[in-house]
């Protein structure tokens, strides 16, 4: 089981690597069997499986933006397996030029090998914490 510090560190390293365009470094942090989940109401809603599923999900996301930035506000460990990163996201829509800014929550679950075996994106931070507590069996 990963410590709180290890979970928080993995979330930070993953977000930083991906944001800086270091895809290979980000992928090394993921389990080959990763499950990616975007709840209804989010972009690319659904469940994606494996590295190919992660790449499909992120590829669709990236196609929608001319420019996209992430700024981590905070990362918290939840329960025994999870970390949640609260992230300010800013972007400009490809083609539309519409500027968007919102706070989102990125949920990471670590497996016994210390890799992310689950990743979810929530537009609502409280919903992310509630769903994660449910996955952990915490009331």
Query: Domain map of the chain by residue range?
Result: 4-136
pLDDT of residue 5: 95
Average pLDDT of the residues in 71-94: 96
Reduce the DSSP state of residue 91 to 3 states and report it: strand
Specify the fold of 4-136.
Nuclear Transport Factor 2; Chain: A, (3.10.450)
CA dihedral over 43, 21, 26, 124, signed as positive or negative: negative
C-alpha pair distances (Å), 48 with each of 51, 52, 61, 90: 9, 8, 13, 24
Q: 38 Cβ partners below 8 Å, 6+ apart?
A: 44, 45, 46, 57, 120, 121
State mean pLDDT over 99-103.
95
Residue 85 backbone dihedrals phi, psi, to 5 degrees? -100, 125
pLDDT at 139 over 80: no
Summarize pLDDT for 13-27 with one digit per residue, the tens: 999 999 999 999 999
pTM for the model stands at 0.94
Segments of 22-115 assigned E as strands: 30-38, 46-49, 65-78, 82-93, 99-110
Computed over every residue of the chain, the mean pLDDT equals 95
């Amino acid at each position: 089981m990963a410590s709180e510090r290890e979970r928080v560190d993995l979330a930070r390293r993953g977000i930083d690597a991906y944001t800086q365009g270091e895809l290979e470094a980000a992928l090394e942090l993921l389990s080959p069997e990763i499950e990616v989940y975007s709840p209804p109401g989010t972009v690319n809603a659904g469940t994606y499986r494996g590295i190919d599923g992660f790449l499909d999900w992120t590829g669709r996301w990236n196609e929608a933006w001319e420019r996209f930035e992430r700024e981590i506000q905070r990362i918290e460990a939840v329960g025994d397996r999870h970390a949640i990163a609260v992230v300010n996201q800013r972007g400009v829509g490809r083609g539309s030029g519409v500027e968007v800014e919102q706070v989102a929550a990125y949920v990471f679950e670590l497996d016994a090998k210390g890799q992310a075996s689950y990743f979810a994106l929530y537009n609502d931070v409280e919903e992310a914490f509630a769903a994660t507590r449910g996955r952990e069996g915490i009331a």
